[in-house]
Amino acid sequence: MINAIERAAAAARPNHVRLDDVDTAILRELVRDARIPNNALAEKVGIAPSTALARMRALRESGVIKGFHADIDLELLGLEISAMVSILIHSHARSRMTEIAEHLSGLDSVQRVFLMSGDRDLLVHVSCESPTRLRDFVSAHLNDPAIANTQTNLIFSELSQGG
């Protein structure tokens, strides 16, 4: 994520938000720790706390920072099985793709839903208590006639640039 931010800042197009070195440094630190206090952020970036606060506000108002999220250890909550389920929508049902994605995103076991290009249309991150619950989720929620095919891949571990 950090390298992508730096590349985007260097190659900003006219219709994109332009980031300078300070904005890029702020985003880099926030990716590492979104809960960093403003004074510590300012010190790490080498600016005054008031400048850091103003820059953060501008990044939020421009939409570059969409929000702050907790990184939850799902296994500690008993959700020991995570999977990425790729879904192919029948060609005759493509007009329902967003509707299906929104429905799936509202289900308890679903962490995230992505609309994709390529040979699959949706990618769904699912977390469940057990392999049986994962099987039940797939059987109960992915049997829509609009769905042509699914492929479920278990997630063994996640690597993160953030921290």
Describe the strand order of the beta sheet including 81-89 as a list of residue ranges.
Answer: 110-115, 122-128, 81-89, 147-154
Looking at the chain, which residues constitute the CATH 1.10.10.10 domain(s)?
Answer: 2-61
Structure tokens at 40: 């510590």
pLDDT score recorded for residue 16: 80
Looking at the chain, which residues constitute the CATH 3.30.70.920 domain(s)?
Answer: 74-154
Average pLDDT, the chain: 90
CATH T-level assignment (fold) for domain 2-61: Arc Repressor Mutant, subunit A (1.10.10)
Cβ atoms of 23 and 59 closer than 8 Å: yes
In one letter, which amino acid is 60?
A: R
Q: What is the DSSP letter of 30?
A: H
Annotate 67-90 with DSSP letters as a single string.
-------GGGGT--EEEEEEEEE-
| CATH number assigned to the domain with residue range 74-154, chosen from the 4 options 3.30.70.920, 3.50.50.60, 3.40.50.970, 3.30.70.3190 | 3.30.70.920
- Distance set, CA 12 to CA 7, 27, 45 (Å): 9, 15, 21
Q: For residue 94, is pLDDT > 60?
A: yes
pLDDT score recorded for residue 30: 93
Cβ atoms of 41 and 29 closer than 8 Å: yes
pLDDT score recorded for residue 42: 97
Residue appearing with tokens 């289900």: 107
Mean pLDDT of 120-140: 96
Mean pLDDT of 54-80: 91
Mean pLDDT of 43-58: 96
Q: In which band, very low, low, confident or very high, does the pLDDT at 18 lie, cut at 50, 70 and 90?
A: confident
Q: In sequence order, which residues have a C-beta less than 8 Å from that of residue 31 and are 6 or more positions away?
A: 1, 2, 5, 161, 162
CA dihedral 118, 119, 124, 130 (to 10 degrees): -140
Percent of the chain with pLDDT over 70: 89
Q: For residue 102, is pLDDT > 70?
A: yes
Mean pLDDT of 86-103: 96
In one letter, which amino acid is 134?
A: L
